[in-house]
């Protein structure tokens, strides 16, 4: 039942905290005890209520550590039953993520002809969809960690991280496409007598450097090839424009 599971989850969290934070907790308690002892000496050596309480906390924590193995042993049947259920949930979620990733890779944001406005709009929608998946992954990762099989969700984590990285580098790519497209459009409206081919060439080379500095993975995207070709073609025409002007 849900209530029983939440109690088990709380117990597993306590076991996990004792297992992973023992050194940290004991160190912090020791520091506080030392501070309380020092303050007691400054106060004439009288043992204050804070010092007594801290000593009790140390004893309580030491007792809790000793009880952990017996507690875990007593919970084993419940742990095993819930572990199987959680693993099944992870497998189901992994299948959903794999399906989402397959659709993700077919999105128009990777295609140059999509255009900046449509690409930005779709990237925003994809981001929100991915946030929901990331939250689901984190929830299952927490359970897998508490029940001591975190590796079971590794494949899902890898897929989700891959999609997040692709979304980030694709947004960066479209930012670059936007700059290149806007700049070339502005130059096309330049009056013949106002054309400065030297300045255009210098700025074009800077944009080409920006394209080249993008994550290497985007080079497999149609959108990258589109902007790369667009700028290279423009650079090819500049010498001809310069010759006509001279």
Distance of CA 178 to the CA centre of its chain: 25
Average pLDDT of span 32-36:
82
Please answer whether residues 137 and 156 qualify as being in contact, where contact means their C-beta atoms are separated by less than 8 angstroms. yes
pLDDT for the residue 62: 86
Rounded-to-integer distance, Cα 110 and Cα 82, Å? 41
Residue 57: pLDDT band with limits 50, 70, 90: confident
- Predicted confidence band of residue 152 (pLDDT cuts 50, 70, 90): very high
Which runs of E-coded beta strand occur in 19-72?
Answer: none
Whole-prediction pTM: 0.79
Q: Is the pLDDT score of 246 beyond 80?
A: no
Question: What is the spatial distance between Cα 58 and Cα 39, in angstroms, rounded to a whole number?
Answer: 18
Q: Which of 32-36, 67-71, 121-125 has the highest mean pLDDT?
A: 121-125
Q: What is the pLDDT of residue 171?
A: 98
Q: Are 184 and 200 in contact (CB under 8 A)?
A: no
Tokens of 216: 């290497």
* Gyration radius of the chain over CA positions: 31
Most confident range (mean pLDDT) of 9-13, 30-34, 78-82, 224-228 is 224-228
Please state the separation of Cα 8 from the chain's center in Å.
29
Taking the C-alpha atoms of residue 142 and residue 148, their distance in angstroms, rounded to an integer, is 10
């Amino acid at each position: 039942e849900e209530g029983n599971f939440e109690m088990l989850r709380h117990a597993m969290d306590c076991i996990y905290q004792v297992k992973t934070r023992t050194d940290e907790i004991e160190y912090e308690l020791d520091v506080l005890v030392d501070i309380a002892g020092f303050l007691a000496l400054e106060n004439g050596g009288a043992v204050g209520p804070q010092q007594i309480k801290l000593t009790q906390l140390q004893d309580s924590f030491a007792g809790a550590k000793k009880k952990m193995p017996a507690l875990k042993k007593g919970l084993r049947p419940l742990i095993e039953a819930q572990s199987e259920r959680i693993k099944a949930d992870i497998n189901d979620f992994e299948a959903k993520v794999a399906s989402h990733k397959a659709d993700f890779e077919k999105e128009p944001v990777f295609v140059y002809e999509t255009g900046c406005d449509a690409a930005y709009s779709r990237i925003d929608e994809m981001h929100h969809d991915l946030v929901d998946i990331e939250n689901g992954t984190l929830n299952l990762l927490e359970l897998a960690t508490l029940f001591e099989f975190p590796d079971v969700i590794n494949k899902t984590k890898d897929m989700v991280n891959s999609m997040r990285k692709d979304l980030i580098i694709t947004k960066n790519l479209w930012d670059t496409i936007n700059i290149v497209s806007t700049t070339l459009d502005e130059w096309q409206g330049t009056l013949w007598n106002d054309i400065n081919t030297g300045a255009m060439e210098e700025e074009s080379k800077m944009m080409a450097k920006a394209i080249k500095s993008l994550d290497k993975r985007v080079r497999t995207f149609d959108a990258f090839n589109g902007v790369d070709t667009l700028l290279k073609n423009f650079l090819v025409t500049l010498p001809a424009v310069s010759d006509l002007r001279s």
